[in-house]
């Protein structure tokens, strides 16, 4: 009987040693602010002003991978048809942190998918959204990281006020990520 219990305990320990770092994953909250540049629409003669981007997220850091749920807001003025174009995004993001020995800066890559509620003129549309990006984080305090990030994002083509738009975004943000 003792051999069976010892074998069972040994087996569980061996299995748990192969479980990805989820067992040591740390939750975090993040907030970012930055500049938002919107590409001109392929379907209409629109020219967008540089705007702003805000987002907040909760996530799990399982080094080297992070997974998070993010809510973002972006607003850009428009020189032609619409007075302004704004969107609220709901994204699921994955990150890969790239450890660099002897350097306090940690580069990362990110990819995300979700939905965007887009508002322009008197119209509103909800479409699929995606984003890819890269950045770097610097640990400023224990459990606190300052992130600088570039993201390119896009959406399915929304229809606002009877016009079809193509949405392409380029955002540069600075944010703070705090472990819980």
Q: What is the pLDDT along the chain (180 residues), one digit of tens a residue?
A: 556 555 555 554 554 444 454 457 899 999 999 999 988 766 655 677 889 999 999 999 998 999 999 999 999 887 666 678 899 999 999 999 998 988 889 999 999 999 999 998 788 999 999 999 999 999 999 999 999 999 999 999 999 888 888 888 999 999 999 999
Looking at residue 43, what is its pLDDT?
Answer: 60
- C-alpha dihedral, 86 to 88 to 93 to 96, nearest 10°: 40
What CATH number is attached to the domain comprising 71? Answer: 2.40.160.20
- Residue 117's beta-bridge partner residues? 88, 126
Q: How many independent structural domains does the chain possess? A: 1
Residue 55 falls inside a structural domain: yes
92, two tokens? 């699921």
What DSSP designation does 43 have? S
Residue 172 lies in a domain: yes
Report yes or no on whether pTM surpasses 0.75. Answer: yes
**3-state DSSP assignment of residue 14:** helix
Q: Compute and round to an integer the Cα radius of gyration of the chain.
A: 21
- Asked whether residue 94 is assigned to any structural domain, the reply reads yes
Residue 65, in any domain of the structure? yes
Mapping DSSP to helix (H, G, I), strand (E, B) and coil, where does residue 40 land?
A: coil
- Residue 86 has φ and ψ, to the nearest 5°, of -130, 160
Residue 8 placed within a domain: no
Domain of residue 91 covers 24-179
Assigned token pair, 134? 């890269």
Sign of the alpha-carbon torsion through 30, 31, 36, 39: positive
Alpha-carbon distance values, 139 to 19, 76, 143, 175, 177 (Å)? 27, 32, 7, 12, 9
In this structure, is residue 4 part of a structural domain? no
* 11: in domain: no
64 occurs within a structural domain: yes
CA 61-63-69 angle, to 5 degrees, is 30
């Amino acid at each position: 009987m003792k051999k069976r219990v010892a074998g069972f305990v040994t087996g569980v320990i061996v299995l748990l040693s192969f479980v990805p770092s989820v067992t040591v994953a740390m939750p975090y909250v993040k907030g970012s602010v930055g500049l938002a540049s919107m590409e001109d629409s392929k379907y209409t003669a629109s020219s967008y002003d540089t705007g702003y981007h805000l987002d907040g997220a909760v996530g799990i850091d399982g080094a080297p991978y992070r997974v998070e749920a993010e809510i973002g807001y972006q607003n850009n003025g428009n020189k032609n048809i619409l007075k302004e174009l704004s969107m609220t995004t709901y994204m699921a993001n994955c990150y890969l942190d790239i450890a660099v020995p002897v350097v306090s800066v940690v580069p990362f890559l990110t990819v995300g998918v979700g939905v965007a509620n887009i508002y322009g003129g008197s119209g509103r549309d909800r479409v699929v959204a995606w984003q890819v990006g890269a950045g770097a984080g610097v640990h400023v305090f224990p459990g606190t990281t300052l992130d600088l990030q570039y993201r390119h994002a896009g959406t399915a083509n929304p229809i606002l006020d009877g016009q079809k738009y193509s949405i392409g975004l380029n955002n540069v943000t600075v944010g703070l990520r705090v472990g819980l």
